[in-house]
Structure 1
Amino acid sequence: MVVLTGKSVFNDVCMGKLSFYKRNERVIKRYKVEDTEAETKRFESAKASAIEQLGGLYQKALQDVGEANAAIFEIHQMMLEDLDYCESIINIITSQQVNAEYAVGVTADNFSAMFEAMDDAYMQGRAADVRDVSERLIAVLSGQDVDQKTYNEPVIIAADDLVPSETIQLDKSKVLGFAMQFGSANSHTAILARSMGIPAVIGLGEDFLESFDGQEAIIDGFTGTVYIEPDEKTKREMEQKKKEVEQKKELLSKLKGKENITLDGRKVNIFANIGNPSDVGSVLTNDAGGIGLFRSEFLYLENEDFPTEEQQFLAYKQVAETMAGKKVIIRTLDIGADKQAEYFHLDKEENPALGYRAIRICLTRTEIFKTQLRALYRAAVFGNISIMFPMITSVEEIKNINKIVAEVKNELEQEGIPYKKEVETGIMIETPAAALVSDELAKEVDFFSVGTNDLTQYTLAIDRQNQKLEPFYNPHHKAILKLIKMAADNAHKEGKWIGICGELGADTSLTEEFLRIGIDELSVSPSMILELRKKVRELKID
């Protein structure tokens, strides 16, 4: 028996044969072309086909893993349209009189090396994306299908790492789990694995050999351990553990319809995070009390142009009506950073996470903001909609938002269009600045919702996608908890409520701490609702 330990991505147990993901080795030949203009056109045609393929992957990912995780394929489409990337390929074709496949291969190597040499971890991560889109482009140029693996039986997929396009094309019914040599817990692939609910372990290292292909294995996603050719004792222990996991899932299902009340009578709202109207079914199935975060940017990322007021109105109205009076908190668009829509024509930034994004776009391009606000206030007539603004850092921003809201209401009134006059509004606490001035902000809004992902990143000055920094990335850091407590205290002083909608909301090791701090609502992925309910019902806070 071989025992290897890595980092867990999803807590579950699976057993089956290892199947190493085998990629077709493509040998790119260099040959001279006489008609470089025709070769350039061949490249442009292949690029259009690759973009179309990525559009299909985006639609498939929307169904499988939701809008937020599907966005990577839109980023890949934009990479293929990148002027520097395309100009490099065309320049190599024309100046060296070579075939497009070779030009793409050289450009991919050059751009990947450039990204890997950068200090910024986000940009380093783009090296894998460049290789992924370039491989797709070369496959189209060569008249080959992009690898789509099929399996006759359910297996544990093993690899060095998987790029998003490889992961999303897998037949999920044939995947028992993932075991990876490398990878980051915050990589796109790890996020996809969590979203699909597939047990996964990454970072097993070079001792995880391809010679293990076809051997029996067990993944213990709780400990991050992979057992290869396990002995009988280990098999029995893991079978018992898997049985206990299944029993736990069954017990959780019995919590449907129960209240989220601690042993000493403290009630907590447990809501769901969604990124698309199609996610509402999962919200209702898992018995969430409402929607604590509806990421509205899906409407912008799905479109080739700015979504109209009517498009937005119908989407918000659908969710509000389906939730039948339960609270639906819709966050205004959070475009920018890693969520790009080409038609916004945003400049490239050295540090996009700290750049022109979210409310900063809305307050400077008010025509976009007004269109969304009109749709939101109109849709609020049909249900219990609240509006939440992201990336707030000052009271001045809230006052500017309120001026625009007043203008929108006045316009709707003048046009005789029905809208809800009083809509609950709140802000995301996801910057240290917002937490530090939360006493002033609480006077201006109806509620706070803590975005712990960005709050942790900005407070610790750590890029959470940088694998090298994982030993330093501590979402339980006292500074984070102190900032959350400060915001909670200031909200309650003004009689306002506060929730958490970031990933920490689902961290049951912190649930008791959050309730002691005074958090009133926790919003998590739909699959975590019942587990969080169970935890709350076991606690005694006073």
Structure 2
Amino acid sequence: MGVTLAKIRQNLVLHGTVANKGIAFGKLSFVKRADIGHEKKEIKNTKAECARFEKARLHAITQLGALYDASLEKLGEQNAVVFQIHQMMLEDPDYVSSIKDVITKEHSNAEYAVTVVAQKFEKQFLEMDNDYMRGRAADIVDISRRINEILMMHDGILNNKGISYNHEGSVVLAADDLVPSETVQLDQKAVAGIVTSKGSNRSHTAIFARTMGIPTIVCVGDSLTEDLEGHFVIVDGNSGRIYVDPDNETIERFSEIKKTDDVQNSHLEEFRGKPTLTRSGNKINLFANSGSLADLELIKASDAEGIGLFRSEYIFMQASDYPTEEEQYEIYKKVLETMGDKKVIIRTLDIGADKTAEYFMLKQEQNPAMGLRAVRLCLANRALFKTQLRALYRASAFGNLSIMIPMITSVDEVIETKQIIREIKRELDEQELQYKDDVEFGIMIETPAAAIISDELAQHVDFFSIGTNDLTQFTLAVDRQNADLENYLNPYHHAVVKLIENTIINGHLAGIWVGICGELASDEKFLGKLIQLGVDEMSVVPSSVLSLRAKIATLG
């Protein structure tokens, strides 16, 4: 029977989503968590049970404070801050009152109430359209599991020993998902790779894995079964494949790939701290994309020359109500202070289409990608727009800020936005609040209309940033969210390239710089064409910075 199983398993290949690149070898070691009883028990004294929950909740907050302190050196402040966020989540009135309501109304034990509420909140996050927000489901699971473990420790049922490894030597850790507190406590000497059946490549766990340099594949699905415990695997973090019990030929092939990767990574380090120059000496500004404060340490570690796209909508998507001017100001200020003299381009609110928040109460649209979103939504809600722009200008005193407006289709939209900015500056002057008067003002070119009239638009702005993702879908009339149309979504289509070329030519004729912040910016197959067209700046995922800098050095 054992021989038969070995034959079946040999060269089995599992498939998932890459969360961090790299090659890893090791025996699969499934995370063994304590069996926490969530069965419902009838409680007569619900007041005492609520107090029992409250004691565990406060204990969890204390634990998270210690975990934050321990994580600072390992992950950096911008990643460790997740544990402060977890503390805030444990103080969220909706979460706390929901648990106490279940205890009181159903006369249930605290463990059951915590589990029921966690499942409800987790489901809400997982049903969201945005990858980043889906990644927050793991945070709910983490804080809820923490409370239940504390409840059981207080009862003497459970000893908290953390994750143990079932095999000697290097292991590939396997789980349904890992929560942030588990990931940060991993022994990097023992854990060569991570594979999960669920998860998200935008979760804190994925971010931590990238920071720690652990090859990681998520979303493997039901094929990642516990009967694979102890089997030797190769994690190919470049393709998203996991090879189970590979033959000698496969092992040798990936050993050579890993050696090559290690040499290449060593070679890439030669470009750290150096400007991004083409072979002929033409300077390209190589920036990184960011979606939150948690990305900043990763961006700094990547050696990016600045932030080319800070997606401000995630501030709104993580909030339960409209963020105030002060709340936004503190976030923008933190970003600018962290980046020092480096340029930070913050995109104004781009809510709509696949990104939304319930409190906006947006109407259902037949075609939301082309509906009330981005600058259209902001100009239709001037108070909302003014609040964000005031926060941005106030924060400008603390760094090198550029402001970028998305989804522009006309000169009128630019003129109206600049009029609002003039009003804000007058208000700030009257209130004697500091700001920089020379903040760069730019727009995104992501509609064919904007690309076609880029000669007119260039007269009113300091820079263009071409959003190739939306530009491609609008030019080709292909919904990029529709997997059935993937073959039609061709970013190399001649029409798309012509619009990019037209935009760069018109920008340069007007004396402004032109950048790229869509997926094409990190596409090495198209890099030579972008250099040939004369692009001045590229904004990419942090992990691509050094490899693109090295590639650009061989071009032009």
Instruction: Indicate the TM-score class for this superposition, using the shorter chain for normalisation.
Output: 0.7 to 0.9
Residues 256, 247 of structure 1: alpha-carbon distance in 2 compared, 3 angstrom cutoff = same
Q: Structure 1, residues 277-323: CA drift from partner, whole Å, max 9, x if none?
A: 99888767765444434567899989x97647995796467457x43
Cα distance, 1:147–1:515 mapped onto 2, change above 3 Å:
farther
RMSD over aligned Cα, in angstroms?
Answer: 5.0
Q: Secondary structure of 1:422's match? A: coil
Shift of 1:448: 1.8
Match of 1:27 in 2: 37
- Counterpart amino acid of residue 252 in structure 1: L
TM-fit CA distance, 1:522: 1.0
User: What is the CA–CA distance in structure 2 between the aligned matches of 1:391 and 1:47, rounded to whole Å?
Assistant: 44
Q: Find the residue that maps to 1:539 and give its secondary structure.
A: coil
Contact map agreement 1:219 1:225 (CA 8 A) in 2: yes
CA–CA distance in structure 2, aligned partners of residues 65 and 350 of structure 1: 41
Partners of 1:363 and 1:401 within 8 A in 2: no
Query: Residue in 2 aligned with 1:81?
Result: 92
- CA offset at residue 360 of structure 1? 5.0
1:448 aligned to 2:479?
no
Q: Counterpart in 2 of 1:210?
A: 226
1:403 matched residue in structure 2: 419
> Which amino acid counterpart does residue 25 of structure 1 have in structure 2?
D
1:444-484 per-residue CA deviation (whole Å, 9 max, x = no partner) reads: 211122345676788754559xxx88967968474866664
Q: Are 2:256 and 1:240 equivalent residues in the alignment?
A: yes
Counterpart of 1:507 (choices 502, 518, 523) is 523
* Contact persistence 1:261–1:537 (CA under 8 A): yes
Question: How has the CA–CA distance of structure 1 residues 437 and 452 changed in structure 2, closer, same or farther, with 3 Å as cutoff?
Answer: same
Does the CA-based 8 Å contact 1:69-1:192 persist in structure 2? no
TM-score, normalised via structure 1 length: 0.74
Match of 1:443, SS?
helix
Tell me the distance in 2 between the aligned counterparts of 1:334 and 1:485: 27
Aligned mate of 1:252, from 268, 293, 296: 268
Does residue 369 (structure 1) correspond to residue 388 (structure 2)? The answer is yes
2:3 maps to: none
Match 1:17 to one of 27, 46, 50 = 27
Correspondence 1:331 to 2:331: no
Alignment check: 8 A CA contact 2:325 2:391 kept: no
**Deviation, structure 1 residue 145:** 7.3
- 1:347-392 per-residue CA deviation (whole Å, 9 max, x = no partner) reads 5668899878799568423663354244344346xxx543334565
- Residues 470, 530 of structure 1: CA spacing in aligned structure 2 closer, same or farther, 3 A cutoff? farther
Give the secondary-structure state (helix, strand or coil) at the position aligned to 2:524: coil
1:36 paired with 2:53, answer: no
SS in 2 for 1:135: helix
Percent of residue pairs identical:
38
Deviation string, structure 1 residues 305-349 (Cα, Å, up to 9, x no partner): 7647995796467457x43xxx513316659689999xxx94566
Task: Find the aligned partners of 2:176 and 2:383 in 1 and give their Cα distance.
Answer: 44
Distance 1:243 1:149, change over 3 A: same
Most deviating of 254-263 and 400-409 = 254-263
Q: 1:484 to 1:136 in 2, by over 3 A?
A: farther
Q: Does 1:531 align with 2:547?
A: yes
Give 1:378's aligned residue: 397
Q: 2:442 aligns with which of 426, 429, 432?
A: 426
Q: Secondary structure at the match of 1:538?
A: coil
CA separation of 1:110 and 1:486: change in aligned 2, threshold 3 A: same
CA deviations on 1:73-104 (whole Å, 9 max, x unpaired) are 84995598374x66654444333322232233
Closer/same/farther in 2, CA of residues 385 and 95 from structure 1, 3 Å limit: closer
Local SS of the residue matching 1:442: helix
Q: Counterparts of 1:129-278 in structure 2 under 5 Å?
A: 131-143=141-153, 148-151=162-165, 154-183=170-199, 189-190=205-206, 192-256=208-272, 260-263=276-279, 266-273=282-289
Q: Distance in 1 between matches of 2:394 and 2:355?
A: 22
Evaluate the alpha carbon distance shift between residue 169 and residue 513 of structure 1 in structure 2; reply closer, same or farther with a 3 A threshold: farther
Name stretches of at least 5 consecutive residues in structure 2 with no aligned partner.
1-9
- Report the AA paired with residue 519 of structure 1: V
The answer to whether structure 1 residue 491 and structure 2 residue 507 are counterparts is yes
For the 8 Å contact 1:276–1:294, the answer to whether it is kept is yes
> Which of 83, 95, 104 is matched with 2:105 structurally?
95
What residue number does 1:6 align with? 15
Q: Displacement of 1:521 after TM fit?
A: 0.9
| Alpha-carbon distance change, 369 to 63 in structure 1, aligned in 2, over 3 angstroms | farther
Helix, strand or coil for the counterpart of 1:236?
A: helix
Paired with 1:315 and 1:113, the residues of 2 have a C-alpha distance of: 31
Q: Which residue of 2 aligns with 1:292?
A: 308
Q: Could you say if the C-alpha distance between residues 38 and 469 of structure 1 is closer, same or farther in structure 2, counting changes exceeding 3 Å?
A: farther
Q: For structure 1, which runs of at least 5 residues remain unmatched after alignment? A: none
SS of 2:465's partner is: strand
Partner SS, residue 499 of structure 1: strand
Larger CA deviation: 418-427 vs 428-437: 428-437
Contact 1:299 1:307 in 2 (8 A): no
Q: Which segment is superposed worse, 134-143 or 12-21?
A: 134-143
**Alignment partners' CA distance in 2, 1:241 and 1:24:** 38
Matches within 5 A, 1:346-365: 346-347=359-360, 363-365=382-384
Does the Cα contact within 8 Å between 1:181 and 1:208 map onto a contact in 2?
yes
Aligned-partner Cα distance in 1 for 2:135–2:298: 31
Letter in 2 for 1:21: V
User: Is 1:277–1:319's contact at 8 Å kept on the other side of the alignment?
Assistant: no
Question: For 1:394 and 1:521, how far apart are their aligned partners in 2?
Answer: 23
CA pair 476-43 structure 1, distance change in 2 beyond 3 A:
farther
Does residue 64 (structure 1) correspond to residue 80 (structure 2)? The answer is no
Shift, 1:244, TM fit:
1.3
Quick one: distance in 2 between partners of 1:398 and 1:535? Answer: 36
Deviations 1:479-524 (A, max 9, x none): 8666645544553453322212345422323312333454221123
Could you tell me the TM-score, scaled by structure 2's length? 0.73
Query: Are the aligned partners of 1:387 and 1:426 in contact in 2 as well (CA < 8 Å)?
Result: yes
Counterpart AA for 2:461: V
1:402-460, CA deviations, whole angstroms, 9 ceiling, x for partnerless residues? 23332343455556777543332113445677557655543321112234567678875
Does the CA-based 8 Å contact 1:79-1:130 persist in structure 2? no
Paired residues, number: 525
Using the alignment, how far apart are the partners of 2:466 and 2:79 within structure 1?
18
Q: Distance in 2 between matches of 1:93 and 1:181?
A: 32
Query: Greater CA deviation, 345-354 or 92-101?
Result: 345-354
Matched to 2:11, the amino acid is V
Per-residue Cα deviation, 1:118-141 (whole angstroms, up to 9, x for no partner) = 695768877666555543443344
Q: Is the 8 A contact 2:162 2:182 kept in 1?
A: yes
Pair 1:392–1:245, CA change in 2 (3 A)? same
- Output one character per residue of 1:238-293: Cα deviation in whole Å (capped at 9) or x when no partner: 22221111111222223356654444665432234457899888767765444434
The one-letter amino acid of 2:513's match is W
Distance 2:200 2:40 in 1: 35
